[in-house]
Amino acid sequence: MTLENNPEILKVENLKAYYQMNYFGVSREVRAVDDITVTMRKNEVYGIAGESSSGKTSFIKVLAAAIRPPLRVVSGTAKYSFSSGAIDVAHATPDEVEAVRWKHLSYIMQGSMSVLNPVRRIGKTFHDFAARPLGLKGKAFEDRVVAHLDRLKLPPDVLRAYPHELSGGMRQRVTIGLATVCHPEFIIADEPTTALDVVVQKEVLNLIRDIQKEMGASVVFVTHDMSVHANVADRVGIIYAGRLVEEGPTREMFFAPKHPYTAHLVASLPRIGDTQQRPALEGRPPNLADPPQGCRFHPRCPLAIDICRKEVPPLETIGPDHRTACWRWRDVAPLVHATQPAGVMA
């Protein structure tokens, strides 16, 4: 399904966000988000994948208006068009952010514990966050929350529990519940299902999709689990070393990736039955305080040529909804066939 014609809900332009630190007079700058331009549409599920520490969480923090020093927006914009009006979260004031939080924009952080107050019962936390936006009180509020938790396969008892009394996966579902109970227009989720068993994971992903469909909401989620992207996302974007290197419709990204790093990612997924090691990426992850010149992937790229070492490849549109930043995107196809095990090609 392509949602090409749906109206835009988020437009990110030339966004740069760096961690700027000063240790005893020595300054250090980590260019975690380095010139990202991307558009997200109403009713769309956009999946983000990429290497560990490539800047996914940092990017998503800007989108979620959860920017705290030393992270700073250096340039660019991130504009939402909510039903309540437009807001550029890269430059919004805390009050402006407060006005859209939970009701229009919600954020499920990586490592779920951090939003849950350890000395507050789950029920109280729900009350703190959701009672006002929902405009419900007492029994009516509790009923709504209980019904919502039920969809996440959580019993009403969790409302009486303290966070440490729940398992990791239960806490993760609680935060998903918090982020979705107010039916926001835009849901941002960082690794929302990593702590769940595969049965519950499927149910939770279904819930996220259902809410998204019912409400016409948009979802951006980050996960390392490529099989989640494969089954949930409409489009997938790949981040490498602080940059968006490829984005496209999910099917194309899996079966016809046009960037060598994407090709590696989709082939690296181990499967049940694998006893053989899959090829790992050569070399070390790039240092974001001093990223490689030219294409940032060049030191590890099997297709690298001279120009890659000198010039940054532009993020070029190569098909409907499909963009890639690679000088040699036309030559990626053979790479895919070489690395994918037999029987995977559709």
Partner 1 sequence: MTTLLDVRDVSKRFTMGGLFGRKQVDAVMDASFSLSAEKPEIFTIIGESGSGKTTLARMILGLEDPSRGEILFRGQKVDRHAGRAKRLEFMSNVQPVFQNPFEAFNPLKKIERYLESTARRFLHTSDKAAIDRAMDEALQKVGLSLREVRGRFPHEMSGGQLQRCAIARALIPNPPLLVADEPVSMVDASLRMSIVNLLKSLRDDLGVSVIYITHDLATAYYISNRLIIMQRGRIVEMGDARTVLDNPEHAYSRLLKASVLSTDDAGAGKLGTDPDMLRLANGSVGQAGRLIDRADGRSVRVYESV
Ligand X SMILES: Nc1ncnc2c1ncn2[C@@H]1O[C@H](COP(=O)(O)OP(=O)(O)OP(=O)(O)O)[C@@H](O)[C@H]1O
Judged by beta carbon, residue 234 or residue 246, the one nearer ligand SF4 is 246
- Beta strand ranges found along 127-222 (DSSP E): 186-190, 218-222
Judged by beta carbon, residue 132 or residue 164, the one nearer ligand X is 164
Compute the distance between CA of residue 297 and CA of residue 309 in angstroms, rounded to an integer. 9
239 binds ligand SF4 (CB under 6 A): no
240 binds ligand SF4 (CB under 6 A): no
The answer for residues whose C-beta is within 8 angstroms of residue 95's C-beta and 6 or more apart is none
Q: Pick one of 168, 216, 279, 334: the residue that binds Mg ion (CB under 5 A).
A: 168
Q: Return the one option of ligand X, Mg ion, partner 1, none that residue 75 interacts with (CB less than 5 to 8 A, by type).
A: none
Q: Pick one of 295, 315, 335, 336: the residue that binds ligand SF4 (CB under 6 A).
A: 295
Give the burial string for 295-330 (b: 16+ CB within 10 Å, else e): bbbbbbbebbeeebeeeebebeeeeeebbbbbbbbe
Where does this chain touch partner 1 (CB under 8 A) — which range of 134-142, 143-151, 190-198, 327-335?
190-198
Q: Which of residues 259-318 bind Mg ion (CB under 5 A)?
A: none
The answer for residues whose C-beta is within 8 angstroms of residue 211's C-beta and 6 or more apart is 180, 183, 187, 217
188 binds ligand X (CB under 6 A): no
**What is residue 125's three-state secondary structure?**
helix
Compute the distance between CA of residue 169 and CA of residue 182 in angstroms, rounded to an integer. 21
Nearest distance from residue 324's CB to ligand SF4, in Å? 8
212 binds partner 1 (CB under 8 A): no
The answer for residues whose C-beta is within 8 angstroms of residue 253's C-beta and 6 or more apart is 229, 235, 236, 238, 246, 247, 262, 266
Instruction: State both tokens at 289.
Output: 């305080």
Cis bond upstream, residue 70 (ω within 30): yes
Judged by beta carbon, residue 15 or residue 308, the one nearer ligand SF4 is 308
Counting every residue written for the chain, the total comes to 346
290 binds partner 1 (CB under 8 A): no
Distances (CA, A) of 308 to 35, 37, 52, 311, 312: 18, 21, 23, 6, 7
Q: Return the one option of partner 1, ligand SF4, Mg ion, none that residue 211 interacts with (CB less than 5 to 8 A, by type).
A: none
Q: Pick one of 115, 133, 224, 331: the residue that binds partner 1 (CB under 8 A).
A: 224
Judged by beta carbon, residue 133 or residue 302, the one nearer partner 1 is 302
Question: Cα-flanking dihedrals φ and ψ of residue 261, to 5°?
Answer: -70, -40
Number of residues binding to partner 1, judged by CB under 8 A: 75
Judged by beta carbon, residue 192 or residue 294, the one nearer partner 1 is 192
Q: Which of residues 191-220 bind ligand X (CB under 6 A)?
A: 195
Nearest distance from residue 81's CB to ligand X, in Å? 26
Judged by beta carbon, residue 76 or residue 248, the one nearer partner 1 is 248
Q: Return the one option of ligand X, ligand SF4, partner 1, none that residue 255 interacts with (CB less than 5 to 8 A, by type).
A: partner 1
Tokens 């809900």 found at:
9
Q: Return the one option of partner 1, ligand SF4, Mg ion, none that residue 327 interacts with (CB less than 5 to 8 A, by type).
A: ligand SF4
Tokens 């009486």 found at:
160
112 binds ligand X (CB under 6 A): no
Strand order in the sheet with 105-108: 105-108, 186-190, 218-222, 45-50, 235-240, 243-249, 322-324, 316-319
Where does this chain touch ligand X (CB under 6 A) — which range of 82-90, 146-154, 160-168, 176-184?
160-168
Q: Pick one of 18, 186, 221, 297: the residue that binds ligand SF4 (CB under 6 A).
A: 297
Residues in contact with ligand X by CB under 6 A are 19, 30, 32, 50, 52-58, 70, 110, 164-170, 195, 288
